[in-house]
Amino acid sequence: MDDVEKIKQKIDIVDLISEHLTLKKTGRNFKANCPFHSEKTPSFVVSPERQIWHCFGCQKGGDIFTFLMEYEKTDFPESLKYLADKAGIKLSGPVFQTEKEKQKETIYSLNHLASTYYNYILLNHNAGKDALAYLFEKRKLNLDIIKKFNLGYAPNRNNSLTSYLMRKKGYKPEDLTNAGLATIRNGRVIDFFRHRIIFPISDSRGNVIAFSGRALDINSALEGPKYINTRETIVYKKSDSLFGLNLAKDEIKKENRVIVVEGEFDVISPYKEGIKNIVAIKGTALTESQVRILKRYAEKITFCFDTDRAGEEAQRRSIQMVEKENVLASVIVPPEGKDPDELVNEDPVLFKKAVKKDISIYDFIIDSAVGNFETKTVEGKRKILDKTLPVLSLIENAVIKEHYFKKLGRLLDTSVESLNKEADKIKNQKNVKEDILPKKKLTREEMIEPYLISLILQYKQVNKAYLICEETLQGTDFCLTAYNRIYSFLGDYVSQQENFFMGDFVKTLPSELLEAFDKCYLAPLAFLEDEKQYLSEIQKTAKEVKTNSLKSKLKNVSEKIKEKEKNGQEKEAEEARQEFLELTKLLKQNSVILIK
């Protein structure tokens, strides 16, 4: 009997899955809502007899190993080791690993060494004394909390970490670049993080998967963005990650509630004061993947974002995501418009009171909309309805729905009947979309444009990525309006700003583009081995976008020629033919470049 079979005999699948999901017995089997897709009616079935599981909604299934691999996002060797330890079985031999699995292990090891190194520099080296003073004096942290979150400092040198990892630990340059710890510049291996406070980002099992670095001197132009993060690697996906989850998960289970904030210090400061069921997102809004991860630990998600307009919009988008996942949600509104870190440091008691007085998401949606727009003007009422009805119309409980419609009606001086009519319009529009859109398979043209925007936004130097694209595109119109507008806004920003700051750029976008932007910013991209390959992918994709645009124009001009010929407008037809020839020439030139 091999190790896999021994483990299967020792670990019952119902016991294992029950540690993560609430299973209900139905006949011979057990059922639960599937953790891998959204559903209201349980379709996830576990068979104790056959020791297997299957979801009839998303069609995923398997045994104890595949469940753990899906649930924890691990590879087979890691799941095998974990379950062997759980079963008390000593593996009879080394676990076979693919090249990708070996690379993952290398990145985990490197990140562990890097986090230890950064922490040592902060706490024990003269180079870290200013950073430590900043954390003690300005951020009011103590030694225990710094050690708890394993905070560190990246020295203001080009090769501090790289020298340590390559000379003393024997790692290769490609190992460091694969992990996102270093970049290659003019043939030299350079530290990615320099002169920054370092926050290790860990997965739920405690593996360090990435880092976030805060500039120590944010007023210096040389520092770049206030925060930079490890680029995505084979172990780190921004849309799947939550800062502090490894430390918070037990408290989240205990409280059956998780508080979601925007930044690392917004997690650390409340944690210091005993509020430990708290995590931070890594983006402009909570993602579907992050919601599903948090659902594993708690039935309620409470938001506490910045109280500026951008924070409210991020909170609103996150709430809509939570609603889709059928999770209880509420909002903490910090007094005086302060963020959690700021308020905790000024008055921790006041913040704790705010945490206890969280409000319903529906009250927040209404109150924030009414606070931002006029309730007496026609235009103000329209904007308030645009912000509130899409969420309120989703409420299934008729009594609760009427309660909030009455509240909104009083504020807008309108009837519940009128609000119901407007809500029905939204519902009908949604039903039309649900009937039509899922049946439509995206064309290559519809996929390539958001992919290009994702490549630009997720590159470490957005300005550079945009300029590389612009060398090819120059005046090219995207086929899809949303991505054409985002690209245009990027151009405006890059032409005015020497350095790219994502937070500032997002503020330039109109609200109707934020959903498309978020998808591009958080889209999981295929792993690209090095910077050269990444830039090559940007160039290749830009050329494909240009080709698609030229083909679309050729089609339109061709139809124009037929129309003019049919109407006997020979002069206009000849002008269109000349335009057709010019476009054909451009298409051939771009095709030659693509072949090269």
pLDDT in tens, the chain (596 residues): 688 889 998 999 999 999 988 899 887 688 999 988 878 788 898 888 778 888 888 888 889 999 999 888 888 888 898 899 999 988 887 766 778 888 999 999 999 999 999 999 999 999 999 999 999 999 999 999 999 999 999 999 999 999 999 999 999 999 999 999 999 998 899 999 999 999 999 998 889 999 999 998 756 545 678 899 999 999 999 988 999 999 999 999 999 999 999 889 999 999 999 999 999 997 667 888 898 889 888 989 999 887 666 656 666 677 767 766 778 889 998 887 788 899 999 999 999 999 999 998 889 889 888 988 999 999 999 999 988 888 888 787 889 889 999 999 999 999 999 998 888 887 766 554 444 334 456 677 778 899 999 899 888 889 999 999 998 888 788 888 899 999 999 999 999 988 888 878 888 988 888 878 877 876 667 766 678 888 999 989 998 888 888 787 777 778 878 887 788 888 887 777 787 787 677 667 665 444 44
Nearest to 296 by CA among 530, 540, 72, 13: 72
List Cα–Cα distances, 504 to 309, 495, 510, in angstroms: 12, 14, 13
**Three-class HEC string of 342-411:** HHHHHCHHHHHHHHHCCEEHHHHHHHHHHHHCCCCCHHHHHHHHHHHHHHHCCCCCHHHHHHHHHHHHHH
Residues 6 or more apart whose Cβ sits within 8 Å of residue 302? 257, 258, 259, 260, 329, 330, 331, 332, 355, 358
The residue whose two tokens read 């103000």 is 380
List Cα–Cα distances, 390 to 2, 210, 319, 369, in angstroms: 55, 36, 11, 12
pLDDT of residue 595: 40
* Structure tokens, 372: 């931002």
Contact 520, 486 (CB under 8 A): yes
CA separation for the pair 330, 341 (Å, rounded): 19
DSSP string, 1-35: --HHHHHHHHS-HHHHHHTTS--EEETTEEEE--T
CA separation for the pair 13, 83 (Å, rounded): 11
pLDDT of residue 252: 95
pLDDT of residue 219: 60
For residue 328, what are the β-bridge partners? 300
CA separation for the pair 25, 12 (Å, rounded): 15
CA separation for the pair 226, 502 (Å, rounded): 10
Contact 490, 456 (CB under 8 A): yes
Phi, psi of 162, deg, nearest 5: -65, -40
Domains along the sequence of the chain with CATH: 3-87 (3.90.580.10), 99-236 (3.90.980.10), 245-357 (3.40.1360.10), 365-438 (1.20.50), 444-595 (1.10.860)
Contact 127, 153 (CB under 8 A): yes
**Could you tell me the end-to-end alpha-carbon distance of the chain, in angstroms, rounded to an integer?**
55
> What element of type H or E holds 271?
helix 264-272
Q: Provide the b/e sequence for 332-346 (b: ≥16 CB within 10 Å).
A: bbbeeebbbbbbbbe
* Structure tokens, 275: 């509020």
List Cα–Cα distances, 407 to 317, 381, 403, 507, in angstroms: 22, 14, 6, 31
Amino acid letter, residue 589 = Q
* Structure tokens, 545: 């976008």
Contact 465, 490 (CB under 8 A): no
